[in-house]
Amino acid sequence: MTGLSIKGPLSDDDILVMEDVGILIEGTRIKSIGKFNELKIAYCKVEVHELKGDHIGLPGIIDAHTHICFGGSRAADYAMRNAGKTYLEIAKAGGGIWDTVTQTRKSSQDQLIKTTMKRAHRHLKNGTTTIEVKSGYGLSVVEELKMLRAIQKANDQTPADLISTCLAAHMFPKDFEGSPEDYLELISSTLFPILKEEHLTNRIDAFVEESAFSEQQIAPYLKKAKAMGFDITVHADQFSTNGSKVAVDVGAISADHLEASTQTEINLLAQSDIISTALPGASLGLGCNFTPARKILDAGGALAIASDHNPGSAPMGDLLTQAAILGSFEKLSNAEVLAGITFRAAAALNLQDRGQLKEGLLADVLLFHSSDYREILYHQGSFKPCVVYKNGEKVYD
């Protein structure tokens, strides 16, 4: 891309298409990008892999919002929703997130490591080289720690980068003796210091919604997290519209979901430095409207696109497909969709070392068998990369 602005609309003219390109990788990073033949002469001693036939190179895809660490399945919820029950009705009746909490608590740390790695490997094969992974199905100090340690261990054993986030404020745990405020106080005073000590995460998330926490309950919790140096992200405006305001007030890095955002919230987000993250997988899983991505960009906002891969609202877990479909429904350019899953997604995770094919950045590179980059989204996700490099290593071929 030439116009690498984080905010606002992008057109396909902003995409810099280079031909006969070589990428020089040194260690985990891109050392140089230029004409293949010139690089070959300038660096005559390096090992050369010359590709046969036309290929398109893209930066590794970044999925800035997932819940891939979980136990069990919620196929029953999906069937109930398709029979007419809503996500919130199922949650109120004791199903939904609480069902996965019960199943995740029953899983051992080793089982969580294994299933998280399995899901991460599938994503990596499909080109997602960086995957944010939330806790949030533990909902007690001990169980949240089990999840976050499992994510850390899974990260050690997979070539993909798993960026963990603490979502202990996913909902008020039904078995907690005390008020929601007591629960949030316990988490912030007991769990947050351990997260720092064990380097388990530097990100705190919260679900602001009728079935989870109110604006008034969550604001002090997130402000405390921010004061302790955590980056903040918020599940905002999924069904009602209070979350984005909290996200702006506490200076969050990203506000995710936004399916219910009206022009008021869209403008508020666009006037801030927040990345607005659309989660088309949740719209597809729940059969509801998409995040107003076009309006967010036209208002001057920053749009990332993530899969929200989780057992409840977004079981599909295929970011390229979902991003392409969002682009089709919301009338997004190739540049806007690709930016949303690369450098704008990197911004949503506050990562400066990836998201572009650029000297000095991580050598996370995807190759697609094609001579036209537009083929990638045209096939709506069914066209997968033929080669995936992560940190300079070929991890899938």
Residue with tokens 């996913």: 170
Sign of the alpha-carbon dihedral angle for 153, 276, 101, 221: positive
Count of positions on this chain that bind ligand NIG (CB under 6 A)? 14
Q: Going residue by residue from 141 to 180, which x/- string records binding to ligand NIG, judged by CB under 6 A?
A: ----------------------------------------
- The piece of 39-47, 304-312, 369-377, 378-386 that touches Fe ion (CB under 5 A) is 304-312
- The CA distance from 4 to 277, in Å, is 17
Q: Which does 97 bind (CB under 5 to 8 A by kind): ligand NIG, Fe ion, none?
A: ligand NIG
- CA–CA separation, 261 vs 267, rounded Å? 10
Q: Which is nearer to Fe ion, 133 or 302 (CB)?
A: 133
**Is 260 one of the binding residues for ligand NIG (CB under 6 A)?**
no
243 binds ligand NIG (CB under 6 A): no
Least distance CB 313 / ligand NIG (angstroms): 4
Q: Are strands 365-368 and 56-59 parallel, antiparallel or unpaired?
A: antiparallel
Of residues 286 and 363, the one with the C-beta less far from Fe ion? 286
- Whichever of 14 and 265 has its CB closer to Fe ion, that residue is 265
Residue 344 contacts residue 277 (beta carbons within 8 Å): no
User: Could you tell me the smallest distance in angstroms from the CB atom of residue 234 to ligand NIG?
Assistant: 11
Given a contact cutoff of 8 angstroms between Cβ atoms, the answer to whether 259 and 237 are in contact is yes
> Does residue number 100 form part of the binding site for ligand NIG (CB under 6 A)?
yes
For the stretch 321-355, what's the b/e string if a residue is b when 16 or more beta carbons lie within 10 angstroms of its beta carbon? bbbbbbbeebebbbbbbbbbbbbbbbbbbebeebb
In whole angstroms, the minimum distance from the beta carbon of 235 to Fe ion comes to 5
- Of Fe ion, ligand NIG, none, which one sits near residue 207, judging by CB under 5 to 8 A according to partner kind? ligand NIG
When asked if residue 311 is in the footprint of ligand NIG (CB under 6 A), the reply is yes
Of the pair 115, 310, the CB lying nearest ligand NIG is at: 310
Rounded to the nearest whole angstrom, what is the least distance from the CB of residue 207 to Fe ion in the complex?
8
Phi and psi at 362, nearest 5°, equal -60, 140
Q: Distance between CA 269 and CA 276 in Å, rounded?
A: 7
Q: Any contact of residue 259 with Fe ion (CB under 5 A)?
A: no
Tell me how far, at minimum, the Cβ of 368 lies from Fe ion, in Å.
28
Q: Which of 107, 128, 217, 310 binds ligand NIG (CB under 6 A)?
A: 310
- In the complex, minimum distance from the CB of residue 225 to ligand NIG, in angstroms, rounded to a whole number: 18
Q: How far apart are CA 213 and CA 207, in angstroms?
A: 6
Where are any strands of DSSP class E within 47-118?
Answer: 56-59, 61-63
Q: Where are the alpha helices (DSSP H) in 166-235?
A: 180-186, 192-197, 215-227
**Residue 282 found at the interface with ligand NIG (CB under 6 A):** yes
* 242 part of the interface to ligand NIG, by CB under 6 A: no
b/e burial code for range 183-203 (CB count within 10 A of at least 16 → b): bbeebbeebbeebeeeebbbb
Instruction: Provide the 3-class DSSP secondary structure of residue 199.
Output: coil
Mark residue 199 as left, alpha or beta (left: phi above 0; alpha: psi -120 to 50; beta: remaining).
Answer: left
Q: Are strands 387-390 and 203-207 parallel, antiparallel or unpaired?
A: unpaired
Is 97 among the residues that bind ligand NIG (CB under 6 A)?
Answer: yes
Residues in contact with Fe ion by CB under 5 A are 308
Residues in contact with ligand NIG by CB under 6 A are 67, 96-97, 100, 207, 235, 238, 282, 308, 310-314
